[in-house]
Each structure stands twice: as structure tokens, then as C-alpha cells.
Amino acid sequence: MSDGALVGIFGGTFDPVHYGHLRLAEEARAALGLAEVRWIPAGQPPHRSAPQAAVEHRLAMLRLALAGNPAYSLDDSEALSAAPSYSVPTLERLRARLGAQRPLVLLLGVDAFLGLGSWHRWRELFGLAHLAVATRPGYTLEAGQMAPALAGEFHARRKHAAAALSAAPAGCILPFPITALDISATHLRATLRSGSGGSARYLLPDPVLDYIAGHKLYLADR
């Protein structure tokens, strides 16, 4: 990988991973010219309730979903850490490893971006990475939807073309459109809980669905 190659970083609970996640990563890779996407599942996300599936299951499902794509890798450092999963320390570790000049691009959907103001040390994100914000059905990127501090950062940092990501190692916010897939892990878990695995089909990869069935995941109401 050359020094200037863009590295995508994609965090989430992935409980379970689904095609909304996979299309986001794939379309980001193609549209933003990312050399690779590092998937970083959270262990214990601080700003939401605990994931339903145990971390080893979420990692196993991600391995199945990402298999065969040489641009994707799985970083289990947050997942296996006992510390709460915060993006800033994770990005600091990556930055130290990849060097000060490498453009890092944190990938997230509009819903996640709108909640950014509640993230630990969130303003420091902009010194560590660019933010690429993918469209998601049901959410809009309007100033009225953002807390004032976030709206301020958005207006100061917003870019309109992917070329901006190569021009600096961090600091831009780039909204980008992706194929609208109204899939959420919350809805998938509810579908799976009802025992009708069949109706979750084609919303997530078959090997992941088979894994869920084989391990009887998401059946309990929790």
C-alpha cells in the first residue's frame, strides 16, 4: 500500500452484520477510492445497550461476511478489549501505526453521524480522520437535525468531492449517497426472535444466516 493510499475504517456493533453494512463499505470503497476497509466491531459500545450476541459470535459472523474480499480486514482490537469501545483511542492507535500523513476515513451512516456529539472526545475525531457519511433511509443530514455544535463542525468541514480526502490526512466531512437499503440489525433481531429465519433471508449473507441458525442466536427476547 502506498503512503497516500486511503484507509477506510468502519466501526459498529454488527449485531448481526447485514447487507446495509456491506453495501456501505463497498460503495465507500468504490466512490471514495479507498485502498482498503478495516472493520472494527465494538466490544462494549458506551453509548448504547450491550450487543445481544456475544463478541465471539459477532466476530465469527463478520469473518463469514467479509471472506473473499481482499480489500476488507477485520480488526478485533476493540472487540477483545475490556475497555469501553471509543473511536478516538482506536483512531489514535491506528494513526500511530500508519503515520501522520496517511488519510484515514471513518465511515458511518447518517444516523450515527447525527449522534456524534455524544461520543467520547468527539471533536478530536476531526484531527485523526476524515468522516464519510453515507445516506441511510429514514435519516436526513439537515442542520435542523443536528445539535448546534455538530452543525457548526459540519458547515465548517463539509466537502462535496472525494478528491478532498486525498488532500489532507484528516478533518473533512464528506456526505456520499449509497444504494438505499432499509435494513437494520434491530429489525433483523426482531425478525429472528420470532423464529422466522426465512424472512431474514437476502437481508444478510446466507453463511451468516446459517451461522445464526446453527448457534440459535437472537431467539431470546433480549
Interaction of residue 21 with ligand ATP, rule CB under 6 A: yes
User: Using CA atoms, how far apart are residues 150 and 73, in angstroms rounded to an integer?
Assistant: 30
User: Strand locations in the chain, DSSP E?
Assistant: 6-12, 34-41, 72-74, 104-109, 130-134, 173-176
Interaction of residue 205 with ligand ATP, rule CB under 6 A: no
Interaction of residue 43 with ligand ATP, rule CB under 6 A: no
CA dihedral 213, 41, 64, 221 (to 10 degrees): 10
Work out the end-to-end distance of the chain between its first and last CA atoms, rounded to an integer number of angstroms. Answer: 43
Give the 3-state secondary structure percentages of the chain, helix then strand then coil, rounded to 5: 40, 15, 40
| Shortest distance in whole angstroms from residue 4 CB to ligand ATP | 25
| Shortest distance in whole angstroms from residue 198 CB to ligand ATP | 20
Nearer to ligand ATP, 53 or 162 (CB): 53
Nearer to ligand ATP, 15 or 78 (CB): 15
Interaction of residue 130 with ligand ATP, rule CB under 6 A: no
Interaction of residue 118 with ligand ATP, rule CB under 6 A: no
Site string for ligand ATP, 142-171 (x = CB under 6 A): ------------------------------
The single residue among 12, 89, 103, 171 that binds ligand ATP, judged by CB under 6 A, is: 12
* Helix ranges, 99-201 (H): 110-114, 125-128, 148-157, 185-193
Query: Footprint of ligand ATP on this chain (CB under 6 A)?
Result: 12-15, 20-21, 24, 108-109, 111-112, 134, 136, 181, 183-186
